[in-house]
């Protein structure tokens, strides 16, 4: 996969936004408009999604829109060694209030990320097509979830995509205060042990800034991203433990309500 210049006949364009054909190709990320919108159309097939992530592009759109593809400048990233954990959160982690697992309930996590936004009338880009596509990436070993359990119930979590030594964070949710924060810290610790280069947080949020994320120029992000692909992707199911967890919550590809 790569980012060679695309012949003009392969993509219909009305500058500055490109209109994708059925072929799995993208324009160069640095051609995105100021807000980061790069292209419109295409699909959420595994091949296209993986190509997009390799090129520093991600989908973000609502149900009433066609698929929109983004490559913002600047880009918010967190380098695992730079994570900041507040004293309050450190105390919560030490109390072991939540039982943290990985890749045990991916479909539940992504569905909850969508559901909680709907409950708060915030709108969501995680529609049925997105859930199906990312559950497919999970089954193929590229997408991963981290779950925070409280008294046997899913209290929070997050999911994202891993390629090379980069993790692309997609969304997180919490039902009990700090559940997703604990899950995120555990993920960062895990990625640090694996010598991951960075976590892509996409666009600026104060929540991620407090964790130590910072904005970098897109060109720098793309250079670092390319370097992180020098090592093979760690595909398959991830786990904080070396042995399989004896009790695995039942997963279903829940449809959006």
**pLDDT of res. 135:** 98
Q: 10 Å Cβ neighbour count for 113? A: 25
When pLDDT is cut at 50, 70 and 90, the band that residue 33 belongs to is confident
Q: For residue 29, give the CATH number of its domain.
A: 3.30.70.3550
pLDDT digits (tens, 9 = 90+) for 187-211: 999 999 999 999 999 999 999 999 9
Which residue in 34, 36, 42, 31 sits closest to 65, CA to CA? 42
Same domain, 31 and 87: no
Instruction: Indicate whether 172 belongs to any domain.
Output: yes
Same domain, 64 and 83: no
Average pLDDT over residues 75-83: 98
pLDDT digits (tens, 9 = 90+) for 39-64: 999 999 999 999 999 999 999 998 77
C-alpha distances (whole Å) from 39 to each of 21, 190, 198 are 10, 34, 25
Which residue in 74, 21, 245, 52 sits closest to 142, CA to CA? 52
- Beta strands (DSSP E) in 25-142 are 37-40, 58-59, 68-70, 75-78, 99-102
The boundaries of the domain holding residue 46 are 8-72
Global pTM?
Answer: 0.87
**pLDDT of res. 123:** 67
How many percent of the chain have pLDDT more than 70?
87
Of the listed ranges 2-11, 181-190, 208-217, the least confidently predicted one is 2-11
Same domain, 60 and 174: no
pLDDT digits (tens, 9 = 90+) for 140-199: 999 999 999 999 999 999 999 999 999 999 999 999 999 999 999 999 999 999 999 999
Number of folded domains that form the chain = 2
Instruction: Retrieve residue 165's tokens.
Output: 């030594």
Instruction: Indicate whether 175 belongs to any domain.
Output: yes
Same domain, 86 and 206: yes
**pLDDT of res. 248:** 39
C-alpha distances (whole Å) from 137 to each of 102, 106, 141 are 15, 10, 6
Same domain, 61 and 103: no
Distance CA 120, CA 211 (A): 24
Domain end position, chosen among 16, 46, 72: 72
User: In degrees rounded to 5, what are phi and psi of residue 191?
Assistant: -65, -35
When pLDDT is cut at 50, 70 and 90, the band that residue 93 belongs to is very high
Same domain, 160 and 104: yes
Same domain, 119 and 56: no
Instruction: Retrieve residue 54's tokens.
Output: 């390799």
């Amino acid at each position: 996969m790569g980012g060679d210049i695309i012949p003009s006949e392969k993509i219909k364009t009305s500058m500055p936004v490109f209109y994708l054909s059925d072929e799995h190709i993208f324009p160069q990320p640095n051609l995105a408009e100021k807000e980061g919108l790069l292209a419109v159309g295409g699909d959420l097939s595994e091949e296209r999604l993986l190509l997009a992530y390799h090129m520093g592009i991600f989908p973000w759109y609502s149900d009433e829109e066609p698929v929109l593809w983004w490559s913002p400048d600047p880009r918010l990233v967190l380098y695992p060694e730079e994570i900041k954990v507040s004293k309050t959160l450190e105390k919560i982690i030490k109390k072991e209030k939540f039982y943290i697992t990985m890749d045990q309930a991916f479909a539940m996590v992504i569905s909850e990320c969508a559901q909680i936004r709907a409950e708060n009338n915030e709108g969501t880009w995680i529609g049925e097509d997105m859930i199906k596509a990312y559950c497919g990436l999970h089954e193929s070993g590229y997408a991963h979830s981290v779950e925070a359990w409280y008294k046997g119930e899913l209290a929070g979590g997050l999911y994202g995509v891993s390629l090379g030594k980069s993790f692309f964070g997609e969304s997180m949710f919490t039902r009990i205060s700090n559940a997703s924060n604990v899950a995120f810290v555990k993920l960062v610790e895990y990625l640090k042990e694996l010598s991951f280069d960075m976590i892509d947080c996409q666009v600026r949020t104060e929540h991620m800034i407090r964790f130590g994320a910072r904005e970098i120029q897109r060109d720098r992000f793309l250079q670092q991203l390319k370097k992180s692909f020098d090592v093979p992707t760690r595909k398959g199911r991830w786990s904080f433990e070396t042995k399989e967890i004896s009790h695995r919550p039942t997963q279903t590809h829940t449809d959006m309500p």
